[in-house]
Amino acid sequence: MSARPGFVLEVDRSTPPTLFWRGERFTLEKLPEGSRVIYAPEPHEPLDDPLAAIRHALANPLGDSEPLSALLFPGMKLTIAFDDISLPLPPMERPDIRQMVIEQVLDLAAEAGVDDVELVVALALHRRMTEPELRHAIGDRVYDAFAPNGLLTQHDAEDRDNLLHLGQTDEGEDVEINKRAATSDLLVYVNINLVAMDGGHKSVATGLSSYKSLRHHHNPETMRKSKSFMDQHRSELHSANWRMGRLIRDAGIKVFQIETTLNTDTFPDAFSYLQKREWEWKAKDRIGFLGAKAALDRMPARYARRLFHSVKAPHRMTSVQAGEVEAVHKVTTENVWAQQGVVVEGQTDILTLGLPYISPYNVNSILNPILVACLGLGYFFNLYRNKPLVREGGVLIMTHPTPWEFNPVHHPSYIDFFEQVLSETTDPSEVASRFEEGFATDPWYIHLYRTGHAYHGVHPFYMWYWCAHALQHLGAVIIVGGDPKSVHRLGFRSATTLADALEMARDVVGSSPTLTHLHAPPILMADVQ
Amino acid sequence: MSRVRDALTAKRFFVTGATGFLGTALVERILRCVPESEVVLLIRPGRRTSPMQRATKEILKNDCFDRLREEFGDRFDAEMTARITAVGGDVATDGLGLDDDGLEALSRCDIVIHSAASVSFDSPLDSAVEVNLLGPSRVAQAYVAARDLAESDGRVGPRHFIPVSTAYVASTHQGEAKEELLSANPFTLDVDWRHEVTAARRQRGDTEAESRRPERLQAFHKEARNELGGAGLHLLAERAERLREDWVKKQMVEIGQARAISLGWPDAYPYTKALGERALVEQFGTTVPITVVRPSIIESALAEPRPGWIRGFRMAEPIIISYARGLLKEFPGVPEGVTDVIPVDLVVAAIIAVAGDALASASEFEAGDSSAEYAGPSVVHVASGVRNPFRYGKLVELVTEWFKEHPVYDQDGQPIVVPEWSFPGRGRVQRQLTRASKAMGMAERVVGSLPIRGRQAEWMAALEERHLLADRALGYVELYGAYTETEARYRVDRLLALSDRMDDEDRMLFCIDPAAIDWPTYVREIHLPSIIEHARVRTTPGKAIRTDRAERARKNILSPDRHLAAFDLENTLIASNVVDAYAWLATRHLPPAERSAFIADLVAEGPQLLSLDRRDRGDFLRTFYQRYDGAPAARLRDDGWDLFHHLLLAKSFPAGIARVREHRALGHRTILITGALDFVVEPFRPLFDEIVCARMDERPDGTFTGRLIDLPPIGEARALVLADYADAEGLRLDESMAYADSASDLPLLEAVGFPVAVNPEAKLAAIARRRGWHVETWHKAKGGAQPPLPLGPFDRPGSARRGRTAPAALAGQARRLRATLTAGPTPREIR
């Protein structure tokens, strides 16, 4: 049985209320008649035998590449890089794809008699992963074989001794990546391609690079020219990474790219109603929803958060392809679109979003106000191809409690960014010109990034730049149910109820606006015609 | 023709006590109303100021002189310099401590007015005796010496002596008191003033000796420790000595009060004043022409120099303010009793009138009028009770009504409702207040022993302040209750006769008739507005804007001119302590089975650890750190990083860490001074230019000995460390900041120019409030993990990081050392 495609519902009198995420909680909201709700396609059937599929992919590479076994030889220097904690979302049930792929790559390497193997977590400027997180991603067997001997490292973008400057692109962009990876005979990169922008040349050019390199495309200008960054043909972020990737290739660095795609099976059985269409809820779903809602509403937010972060997603692998970067990525992108794409007719005046508890940067942590902005304006807003879902000058309404709370271990520079930078200005260009350098080179943030589990000092800036396109495009941003103080600091407007927010939005877009709700998660991509 | 003014014109006055309330008004009035008059002021030289400087600063700058300043305009300074002479001296010294010039100046005076007194109703007996009892005779003696000097020069010298006393010397017995010498008053006991002087001086010696007995000294030390905690020897000693001095003073006050009451006076003030009059009359009654002026309770001016003028907070003011603030619900008194209050300008006028009358009479006698002959020492009352009685009930009514119309506002900007008065007896009020004071004291002790800090601790400081106010209110009732309950009536026949002898012009200039006072007007329009203005209480509604002050203080601290910022670690930058760190490190490699036993042990030890910490921080650290005996050093150094990233950072105050960085960005040096161990603080290194912490000795086999290499930097050692560092680096401590959370950090905080109390615990909150130190309230980041117990993460089996060597070394240590702690030597023996 093939899965049903995505669907755009037009709300009429008989439509039941729509589920809105509000961080660790959710509510049902009655949308005005005539509103549209976009639902993700149902999960595709996973691969029957993922291990066999991986084996097959490694043996039958795409593009100009030999099979992996042919690239391995005794005495070689092999580095396996893999995606960090930011993928997939939510973290998947064991065994993680990375574990399955890496184990196979290691088996081949062992067969070929390769001794010098190192694993590198492609952190870029993300936080270092903890031991349990690493064990979850690559499995105990791999962890115990590599970590105690120092052969499992996390990319350190501030370790000058382990970075190699490869040159500049035609556009004058510095390309600097992990030295171990750059000086290996073969670099195998293991991807989990959750969304269309993951993978390709971005894997190495971003994941293993440094601030010196990243600043060329992680800036307001690039983000404003990426419409959207999920659409490689219209993404300046993509172009920059491709220029860098080609420079890496031309520098003689041999990359064997492995990319995998997932289906949209996002929540375990107990929460299955979260990914169903409301009018199809069965009695079990209704009871489950009511029970969970009652419990979550009564539970302190921190416990609700802990509960949700312990949820592992049942998503399964739908494809795996390996070989030359660009050829592999072309197939991957098609697969991602096949699972997530939904055709939507025309733009809307008001786009509503229910923001969940998780984003790429707060796994096992809290979605602080800056990440709330980034999740809504950076990620969800950009889940489109062709045209943004909301028209220029339109309004974005998001539901999230947006508490003034930060994780001091993971997001120390975010705290200061929120207190010192956003209190002065919310304009991404001004933020960049006045404050970025100071935060990026701050020794204390670098210290915490290198020795602990903190995002790099410059990371909150990137989150803000992620919003740049939306900030430029939108007429207003309203957060429903947010802490008014934090919402105000973000430069947004705050409303108590969705009805209030709609009333406020009418002041911007006129008295009879069109409204579209993006029913995510599960993740979907709107192909706006 | 004006009898008094003409008699005094171009005369010279010698005045003692000119810096006081009455004295200031007197000097102003003489200079303003007596043409060509001059004054010679006896002024105690200050430590760094000459008598004239003191006169300028404390007398001429007072708003009493505003009117004169206006009248003279540009001539004011020149006029004052020409007419005022200040001579150094002290009424508590024999011969007044006058030098030759001083005596010469005195010899050129015509009138000598002695208004210096220890007016406080609760001064220690011996100082009251020196000033009040012996003072008048000393001035009289100087008078005689000056007259002899003048006569040897062929001049006349001083001609009349006017000592200012108090109406209450006639005791507070019922009925009318005449204006007569005490020797003629049947209600006062005839005690030998010489014996009283000797006894008072001996009492001082005895009390001093008593205060130095070992038990007493120990008690003072204990109290100081209770107050300051482990603030270090020097500060404790300083505080204990202050407590001893305060105790002696309190004893001397009590002794004075007891003696006064035993002789029939309400307290030491009228008692010493009365004996002072006796001593004066007995020694100089025949050789010096004397008129004693006895005012009742002097209050703000009726008209001169302006209505409502008052200096200092006197007797009725604090009581009225306490009432307006709702602190004092009642004040003892009988409604039909008479409150004998007299405005200061009437007293001043009476003194001047007495002087003028004396000189005029002398002239008249010389001119042949035998009725004007001086007939020996006499007394003039300046009181309102007989001539224009003011009932206590009426006073209360006027005050209550006025405060209903003009309420005082509390800190939240809410008006305070004044209580209804029920005219209770003194005993009842005293009991009520004593009970309230005791309850608050108890609450303070309970709250003070709780480990609270930050906002709650500031609330505690407010409680303490309220307690202080309640105690003060109790003090007022004890001291002044006798005065509102008094039923004595002071006759003013001689005052009125004096007024009669004055002509209209005199009476215009120097109004001395108490009938001139309209009490309701005086209370409502003159006295209450004036004292409310002086008390600086809130008289407007609405929230106080207090952030301004904090903002200013912060700006001051974050000025580029500063040099050095010193930080404490625990509870200043992180909400954690050595016990947390230890528990985390000890459980880091502990199998789950042993964890619960370890936790139970540690929780059970909690109170004991807490009390040891409170007794002596150094002993606590030394004892506690012994638990690390046998622990592998290398692994702890490694685990220190995990501790930092998992526990300490999660418990850190981001605003505090931001502050350290802000100081660095401003170019200030930063230094961390903490009793924590080096491997715990190592990850903080990038924040500081210098870290001073505890370091532990290591055995050759790589395990810790549990003993510290040198003294831990706590208490006074912190101040020394900071001073050494500043010295070596050429930085100035008065341009430096120190951030700390507890009273045991006082030496550090006191060492710098800009101390900052961070989330202060109760004792420090109280101290910071009293001294006006800047207080910061910093919080943990709300979104961090907040484990209920500081336990290390539990390593899964097969973990590479799991220590395979002696995983439970630390916990085993804990158990063994707890036994030592319980059975072992007490902290004192360790020391």
For A127, nearest residue in chain B (alpha carbons): B645
What mean pLDDT is predicted for residues A463-485?
96
Separation between Cα atoms, residue A82 and residue B99, nearest integer Å: 96
- CB of A416 within 8 Å of any CB in chain B? yes
Query: CA-CA distance, A423 to B489, in Å (whole number)?
Result: 71
Tokens representing residue A268 in the block? 């375990």
What tokens appear for A232 in the block? 């490689």
Contact A3, A41 (CB under 8 A): yes
State whether B796 and A135 contact (CB < 8 Å). Answer: yes
Does B645 contact A at CB distance below 8 Å? yes
- β-strand partners of A525: A341
Which residue matches tokens 């996002």?
A266
Q: Which residue has the tokens 């990359």?
A: A255
Q: Cβ-count burial of B607 within 10 angstroms (0-12 exposed, 13-18 middle, 19+ buried)?
A: exposed
pLDDT band at B226 (very low <50, low <70, confident <90, very high): confident
CA B660 to chain A, closest CA, distance in angstroms equals: 11
**In terms of Cα–Cα distance, which of A159, A245, A243, A161 is closest to A199?**
A245
A130: distance to nearest CA of chain B, Å? Answer: 10
**CA nearest neighbour of A96 among A83, A107, A105:** A83
**pLDDT tops 60 at residue B583:** yes
Q: Which two tokens stand for residue B157?
A: 């010298």
Inter-chain residue contact A406 with B784, CB threshold 8 Å: yes
Q: Per-residue pLDDT for B598 more than 90?
A: no
B651 to chain A: closest CA residue: A408
Q: In a 10 Å sphere around its CB, with 0-12 CB exposed, 13-18 middle and 19+ buried, how is residue B690 labelled?
A: middle
Euclidean distance between CA atoms B387 and B296, whole angstroms? 13
Chain A nearest C-alpha distance from B594 (Å): 22
DSSP reduced 3-state for A519: strand
B-chain CB neighbours of A441 within 8 Å are none
**Entry pTM:** 0.74
Average pLDDT for B467-484:
70
Q: Do B641 and A451 touch (CB under 8 A)?
A: yes
Tell me the C-alpha distance between B62 and B267, whole Å: 30
Nearest to A182 by CA among A130, A242, A249, A127: A249
Q: What percentage of chain B has pLDDT greater than the value 90? A: 26
Residue (of B411, B753, B760, B778) closest to B553 by Cα position: B753
Report strand pairing: A36-39 vs A7-10: antiparallel
B802 inside 8 A of chain A by CB: no
CA distance A40 to chain B (A): 31
Residue A132 with chain B: CB contacts under 8 Å: 796
Highest mean pLDDT among A406-410, B265-269, B621-625: A406-410
Joined together, the tokens standing for residue B585 give: 């490190």
The candidate with the shortest Cα–Cα distance to A378, out of A312, A461, A438, is A461
CA B425 to chain centre: 29
- What CA–CA distance (Å, rounded) separates A427 from A461? 11
CA angle B667, B670, B673 (to 5 degrees): 170
Interface probe, candidates B646, B779, B782, chain A, greatest A C-beta count within 10 A: B782
Given an 8 Å threshold on Cβ–Cβ distance, is A144 in contact with B800?
yes
For an interface test with B, give the residue of A136, A365, A368, A409 to mutate (most B CBs within 10 A).
A409
B816-825 average pLDDT score? 36
B613 domain residue, yes or no: yes
Q: Answer whether residue B739 is part of any domain.
A: yes
Question: In angstroms, rounded to a whole number, what is the distance separating the alpha carbons of residues B275 and B267?
Answer: 13
Residues 6 or more apart from A243 whose CB is under 8 A from it?
A169, A170, A171, A173
Is the CB of residue B24 less than 8 Å from the CB of residue B113? no
State the DSSP code for A436.
I
Q: In whole angstroms, how far apart are CA A303 and each of A171, A290, A298, A439, B786?
A: 49, 18, 10, 32, 11
Q: State residue B171 phi and psi, 5-degree precision.
A: 70, 175
Q: Minimal Cα–Cα distance from A444 to chain B, Å?
A: 6
When pLDDT is cut at 50, 70 and 90, the band that residue B184 belongs to is: confident
B window 653-682, beta carbon within 8 A of A: 654, 657-658, 661
Count structural domains, chain B.
Answer: 1
Residues of A with CB below 8 A from B689's CB? Answer: none
Helices in B38-173 by DSSP H: which ranges? 51-55, 66-72, 76-83, 100-107, 125-128, 135-152
Q: Using the 8-state DSSP alphabet, how is residue B407 labeled?
A: -
Quote the tokens at residue A156.
Answer: 């350190």
Tell me, letter by letter, the H, E, C secondary structure of B520-581: HHHHHHHHHHHHHHHHCCECCCCCCCCHHHHHHHHHHHCCCCCCEEEECCECCCECCCHHHH
Predicted confidence (pLDDT) per residue in A82-114, tens digit: 999 999 999 999 999 999 999 999 999 999 999
Least-confidence region, from A240-249, B176-185, B308-317: B308-317
Identify the H or E element spanning B299.
strand B297-299
**Spatial strand order in the sheet of A341-344:** A341-344, A525-528, A384-385
Contact residues, chain B, for A444 at CB < 8 Å: 657, 661, 686-687
Average pLDDT, integer, range B82-99: 87
The answer to whether the Cβ–Cβ distance between A452 and B645 falls below 8 Å is: yes
pLDDT of residue B710: 85
> Can you read off the two tokens belonging to residue B162?
């006017």
Cβ contact, residue pair A302, B652, below 8 Å: no
Distance CA B184, CA B292 (A): 14
Name the residue facing A407 among B783, B800, B801 (closest C-beta): B783
B710 is a domain residue: yes
List the structure tokens of A131.
């031991």
Q: What are the Cα distances from residue A75, in Å, to A78, A111, A181, A186, B548?
A: 9, 13, 16, 12, 71
| Distance (Å, whole) CA B325 – CA B332 | 17
Q: Do A444 and B641 count as a contact with CB atoms less than 8 A apart?
A: no
Give Rg (Cα) of chain B.
34
Any domain includes B652:
yes
Mutate to test the interface with B, among A444, A445, A451, A485 (most CBs of B within 10 A): A444
In this prediction, residues B54-78 reach a mean pLDDT of: 87
The range of the structural domain enclosing residue B617 comes to: 562-782+821-830
SS3 call for B322: helix
The reply to whether residue B786 touches residue A415, judged by beta carbons under 8 angstroms, is no
Beta bridge partners of A262: A317
B687 interfacial to chain A (CB closer than 8 Å): yes
Q: Is A225 helix (H, G, I), strand (E, B) or coil?
A: coil
Instruction: Determine phi and psi for B198, rounding to 5 degrees.
Output: -60, -45
The end-to-end CA distance of chain B, in Å, is 85
A174 strand-pairing partners: A168
How far is Cα A263 from Cα A193, in angstroms, rounded to an integer? 11
Q: What is the mean pLDDT of residues B589-617?
A: 79
Instruction: Look at residue B535 and tell me if it is in a domain.
Output: no
Q: Does the residue B650 lie in any domain?
A: yes
Q: Contact B114/B132 with Cβ under 8 angstroms?
A: no
Higher-pLDDT residue of B164 and B544 is B164
Query: What is the Cα–Cα distance from B379 to B182, expressed in whole angstroms?
Result: 9
DSSP code for A374? I
B687 contact residues in A (CB cutoff 8 A): 444
Q: Residue A180 and residue A164: Cα distance in Å, rounded?
A: 9
Distance to chain B for A168, nearest Cα, Å: 33
Of B661, B686, B784, the CB nearest to A407: B784
Out of B641, B781, B795, the one facing A408 most closely (by C-beta) is: B781
Domains of chain A: 7-43+341-528 (3.90.226.30), 50-262 (3.40.50.11440)
Between these two residues, A280 and B829, which has the higher pLDDT value?
A280
For B645, which of A366, A420, A453 is closest by C-beta distance?
A453
- CA torsion, points B421, B426, B429, B431, in degrees to nearest 10? -160
Q: Is the peptide bond before B541 cis (omega within 30 degrees of 0)?
A: no
Tracing tokens 């009930």 back to the chain, one arrives at: B393
Q: Looking at the predicted structure, is the pLDDT value of residue A236 above 90?
A: yes
Confidence label for B830 from pLDDT (cuts 50, 70 and 90):
very low
Say which residues have a Cβ less than 8 Å from residue B13's Cβ, sequence separation at least 6.
Answer: B30, B37, B38, B39, B40, B109, B110, B111, B112, B113, B355
Tell me if B751 is assigned to some domain: yes
The CA R_g of chain A, rounded to the nearest whole Å, is 22
Question: Hey, are the CB atoms on A409 and B785 less than 8 Å from each other?
Answer: yes
Cβ A148–B800 below 8 Å, yes or no?
yes
A403, A408, A447: residue with CB nearest B654: A408
Window A:317-376, CB contacts with B under 8 Å: 365-366, 368
Cα angle: A200, vertex A201, A204; to 5 degrees? 115
| pLDDT value of residue B824 | 33
- Which of B287, B37, B46, B17 minimizes the C-alpha distance to B146? B287
Separation of alpha carbons B64 and B344, rounded Å:
12
- What is the predicted ipTM? 0.91
The CATH number of the domain where B645 resides is what?
3.40.50.1000
How sure is the predictor about B302, in pLDDT bands with cuts at 50, 70 and 90?
confident
Q: Does B432 map to a domain?
A: no
Residue type, B27: V
Does the beta carbon of A144 lie under 8 angstroms from any beta carbon of chain B? yes
| Residues B654, A448: C-beta atoms closer than 8 Å | no
Q: Please judge whether A403 and B782 are an interchain contact, meaning their C-beta atoms are less than 8 angstroms apart.
A: yes
Instruction: Return d(Cα B280, Cα B289) in angstroms, integer.
Output: 11
User: Which of A47-51, A176-180, B369-373 is least confident?
Assistant: B369-373
In whole angstroms, what is the distance from residue A481 CA to residue A507 CA? 19
Give me the pLDDT at residue A423, please.
95
Q: Given its phi and psi angles, is residue A346 left (phi above 0), alpha (psi -120 to 50 degrees) or beta? A: left
- What pLDDT does residue B828 have? 30
If phi over 0 gives left and psi between -120 and 50 gives alpha, with beta otherwise, what is residue B772? Answer: left
| Of residues B193 and A524, more confidently modeled | A524
